[in-house]
Amino acid sequence: MSLLSDLQHITERTYQQWSGIKLEDFIIGRKRFVHLSARCHSAPNELSEVARVFFRKISDHLYLAIYFSEPLILQLEKHDPRRGLTEENIVPFMIFIEEINHGLHAAIKFQSGQHEIQKEEFIRDLELQAKIDTYQIVKFFLAYFNPTRQLEHFDRLWLRHHLFERGDYDYRSQNLRYRYRESNWLGSKYARFVDSIPPGDRLQELKRFRRMDYSTKSRYIRFLP
């Protein structure tokens, strides 16, 4: 099984939500990426060229495309996260997870009747959910490679640094700046909250949280201690 398939399986199994698609079928190359980027209306020059997900709705159908740059793929092939996480692959791995997560949750949301993919709340919900899921998935990988199969305190500090503390959100677009800063702050606070509750309660909390709409998620996190 490929790394992409592994990650899709982990996410769908966690939430007991099935997308009904094989994400590997929606990977595109550089030429198609350039073509779709030229049609993007959301500050295309400021969006990442390392990896990106494209959505388009036609009638009642969602069309999806996922792009990963060649350097990112080569880095993950050279330093496969399934053999361990290091400074060489932690950032590419997190980028890889987030884009897969965007595509997966968008497909699940669309199947549930949420078809307004251009709405800011739809997009922010994907960004926030990706931060949360990336944190949980990387924790799983880090714990797996420890001799005790338990997550160490340093693991959490290292992960939080790379996922929440080192990002640069200084976009010229005010909307992009607010979107990514907000999802990062909310994701960081929620991740700490989940870490603080008993391990046996975490899965149900994550499932319950995912079912909320974005406005409810945002209010919920802001009221957390």
Percentage of residues in the chain having pLDDT higher than 90: 86
Has residue 95 got a pLDDT over 80?
yes
pLDDT of 1 > 80? The answer is no
- Residue 26 token pair: 């929606």
What's the farthest any 2 CA atoms get from each other in the chain? 52
Whether the Cβ atoms of residue 99 and residue 66 lie closer than 8 Å to each other: yes
Q: What is the pLDDT of residue 43?
A: 55
- Answering whether pTM is above 0.75, one says yes
Backbone angles phi, psi at 209, to 5 degrees: -65, -40
* Chain centroid offset of residue 84 CA: 20
67 in helix, strand or coil? strand
* Alpha carbons 78 and 81: distance in angstroms, whole number: 9
User: What mean pLDDT comes out for the span 146-156?
Assistant: 94
pLDDT (tens digit per residue) in 123-137: 999 999 999 999 999
pLDDT, tens digit, 9 for 90 and up, residues 33-92:
999 988 876 655 788 899 999 999 998 899 999 999 999 999 999 999 999 999 999 999
Q: Which two tokens stand for residue 76?
A: 């993950």
pLDDT digits (tens, 9 = 90+) for 102-123: 999 999 999 999 999 889 999 9
